[in-house]
Amino acid sequence: MQGAAPGGPESATLLISCPDQPGLVATVTEFIFRNQGNILHLDQHVDTEANVFFMRVEWDLTAFTIPAAAIATAFTAIAEPRQMTWELHFSSNVPRMAVFVSKLGHCLYDILGRYQSGEWRVEIPLIVSNHPDMRAVSEKFGIPYVEFTITKENKREQEDQQIALLKQHNIDFVVLARYMQIISPEMVAQFPNRIINIHHSFLPAFIGAKPYHAAFARGVKIIGATSHYVTSDLDAGPILEQDTVRVNHKDSVEDLVRKGKDVEKLVLARAIWYHLQRQVLVYNNKTVIFN
């Protein structure tokens, strides 16, 4: 398995991207080895077209001679001359996730079931909605539910309130679990590659509203779902995960919706898993997923 699952040893994970050049793997692994770190997982990838190098390395901190707080500084000496963009994560740090919903509950139920079963290493301090429908579910699971009625007029203002609330709760990333509102560029800018959406089609087919109706009208034999990071372009952000399910002429639009819901919730759950496991690097509006 990749990444910091519940129960593993205390570990650190580096996510690196930089211009490709000889010796990158040797240099990074030598840094870890020299300081008594034992590598748990290592993945690398080179986009030969773009000439960009990507790496994810996770190592056991048990015997590591550099204290956690000093690793970033120590690594800067390696990163800077090689123009590395990098992130450092510790398995001891439990990410804080906010869930945004509207009226449909299938993704929310799925997320909360995993959360309460301890399947994920995450905190969910609050659920945000533009409708009252999911309040009862949230309360069932003991999670505060904050409602923001959204109109054309108050949208930006309400989003600013939402941003303030997220900051106040130290939210690391946001999951739009069939949240039926377009996020403004201003809000996206506050959480770059930190807002995960689920769209109910295999993008780039059927962008926008009512994809199941469009799929039915076109007579497709497969439908799908796509989870992606939200950018300021509607349904056009970096894709995290996709999956499909077979349909046929007997399926009405309602059947597509029913079958699609099961794909949506699994695709979203996998995308959240990759994000939580620190397996995702974004480049050129695409993702490298080291899983």
Site for its own copies in 3-32 (CB under 8 A): 5, 22-23, 25-26, 29-30, 32
Q: 270, 216, 219, 215: which is closest to 243 by C-alpha?
A: 270
Residue 235 annotated to the active site: yes
What SS3 state is found at 71? helix
Binding mask 185-224 for its own copies (x = CB under 8 A): -----------------xxxxx-----------xxxxx-x
Answer yes or no whether residue 58 interacts with its own copies by CB under 8 A: no
Answer yes or no whether residue 44 interacts with its own copies by CB under 8 A: yes
Binding residue count for its own copies, defined by CB under 8 A? 76
Closest distance between its own copies and the C-beta of residue 251, in Å?
7
Eight-class DSSP state of 252: -
Residues 135-174 that bind its own copies (CB under 8 A): 137, 140-141
Answer yes or no whether residue 67 interacts with its own copies by CB under 8 A: no
Residues 107-126 that bind its own copies (CB under 8 A): 109-110, 112-114, 116-117, 119
Q: Which candidate in 60, 172, 235, 251 is catalytic?
A: 235
Answer yes or no whether residue 233 interacts with its own copies by CB under 8 A: no
- Cα separation, 270 vs 152, in Å, equals 33
Structural tokens at position 2: 């990749």
Answer yes or no whether residue 244 interacts with its own copies by CB under 8 A: yes
Residue found by looking up tokens 């990749």 in the block: 2
Long-range contact pairs involving 24-33 (C-beta distance under 8 Å, separation at least 24): 24/53, 24/55, 24/82, 25/55, 27/78, 27/82, 28/55, 28/57, 28/78, 29/57, 31/74, 31/75, 31/78, 32/57, 32/59, 32/64
Answer yes or no whether residue 105 interacts with its own copies by CB under 8 A: yes
Active site residues: 235
